Structure 1
Amino acid sequence: MTSAFRYSKKEHNDSLLSLGSIRIGTLYDFRRSEHRRGISDGKEGRKTVFHHIDQASTADGDTIHMRALKEFNAFSYGPNTVVEMKNVHLARDFNHPDMYVHCTSIDYSSKVMREFEGADSCVEITNVIGFYKRLTESLKKITQVDFMGVTKVTYMDRNQPWTGDGWGINPALIKEHEFKNQVELRAIWWSKTMKPINPITLHDIGLLKFCVSRLTP
């Protein structure tokens, strides 16, 4: 992974290119409806995992249905107890704790830029690893964080069937299919303060060496 692309209003990208000004958002802040189209997502960090049992019995042995009852903490039963079940629906809701988040795209195209309301300029981050290493150093001067990495977002339904092996993809790295044209790359930081967090705008001219202006695609 070498490059990523930031689509934004020209005034914001100009501030990045001249002053190293950058806003690091939060997972929960993205839920706000006040954000422009392409950024606001009221379901950020949430998902539901479900499992349906048409018919089963505790006498069936170690089946996926029996494992589901245990993993979903549905109910417990003692040894030599037989319980018959029909039409049972299990569900577990996940609401990921708030985190610092910065988003870019791995795709340089007009299709991506159209996804972000008001975006009229593009900055290429030419060295993603170097950029986020430097950004992490700057962020740590402001607050206590651990960098959790940068990864591609997975586009999928937030209602997921249980596979029988864990709880699936981290809900902080999921977006619904309607956002798939963004081809998002997401960097995340875990706050170590154990207090509510808010977006941070910082200024670091050391970021400039990783950024170049690109013509709008």
Structure 2
Amino acid sequence: MNMASFYRYSGKRYNDALLALGNVRIGTLHDFRREEHKKGIADSNEGKKTVSHVIKYANSDDGHSIHFDAIEKFGAIRGRKGASIILENVHLSQDFNYPDCFVHCSSFEYSKVAMSQFGGAESCVEIFDVNSFYYRLTETLSAVYPVRLLALKRVVYMERVEQWDGSTWGVHPALIKEPIFSPQVEVRAIWQPRISGPIAPVVINDVGLIKFCRSVPLPE
């Protein structure tokens, strides 16, 4: 699938290293929770969310109901087959804390507003061949730590308490950020480790990435 360009807003020395050496830092989801990161990067709730469903009243004798689907989905109670069940003022919730994974972030928008969201940004690199860049980056990362590319998608800006949609668990926890971050228009590549154990951010140098990037003037 063809994609529009992505943009990396960062300090000049980091973007210069990308263009000269193919230098890329691939972070981890849980590492983003650290307060030491600059504004726009640190978020203590990365990878976390809650899905909830409220039942004011439901009677199994009234026929099929989304509320009883919720009871089964959330694993709340197990009724005897054929038994009548009445539910009143029930609040169901399921917490998610997604396991650590590798993450590389860019912006989908070339604008001064987007750039202002990344603390310390003073230069911009355009990734103009997105598919080739992330295919190569996945291969290079896999040579260091076995991974599979889980997603290459835009972030969804929403509150971390999500109402159950009636069938699924909704937006992937690793793709959620609070609405206050929405001007970043962030897009994420997410890699899932193929082996268990703790992971940490990885810095790689791959000159094969350079041909997919170029320096562009700061947006006005």
**How far is 1:149 from its partner?**
3.3
**How far is 1:84 from its partner?**
2.2
Structure-1 residue corresponding to 2:154? 152
Rounded Cα–Cα distance in structure 2 between residues aligned with 1:135 and 1:77: 50
Equivalent in 90, 93, 106 of residue 91 of structure 1: 93
Q: Which runs of 5+ in 2 are unaligned?
A: none
Structure 1 runs (4+) deviating above 6 angstroms are: none
The 3-state SS of whatever aligns with 1:141 is: helix
**How far is 1:79 from its partner?**
2.7
**How far is 1:72 from its partner?**
0.7
Structure-1 residue corresponding to 2:24? 22
Q: Which runs of 5+ in 1 are unaligned?
A: none
Q: Deviations over 1:159-214 (max 9, x none)?
A: 11112111111111111111110111100111012111100000011111011111
Rounded Cα–Cα distance in structure 2 between residues aligned with 1:165 and 1:81: 24
Rounded Cα–Cα distance in structure 2 between residues aligned with 1:165 and 1:178: 28
Tell whether 2:177 aligns with 1:164.
no
**How far is 1:85 from its partner?**
2.0
Aligned residue pair count: 217
The 3-state SS of whatever aligns with 2:106 is: strand
Write out aligned runs for 1:1-217 (5 A).
Answer: 1-217=3-219
Rounded Cα–Cα distance in structure 1 between residues aligned with 2:81 and 2:116: 60
Q: TM-score, normalised by structure 2?
A: 0.96
**How far is 1:42 from its partner?**
0.9
**How far is 1:129 from its partner?**
0.4
The 3-state SS of whatever aligns with 2:89 is: strand
Alpha carbon RMSD of aligned pairs, Å?
A: 1.0
Rounded Cα–Cα distance in structure 2 between residues aligned with 1:52 and 1:71: 13
Q: Percent identity?
A: 49
Q: Deviations over 1:135-173 (max 9, x none)?
A: 111111111111123111111111111121111111111
Q: TM-score, normalised by structure 1?
A: 0.97
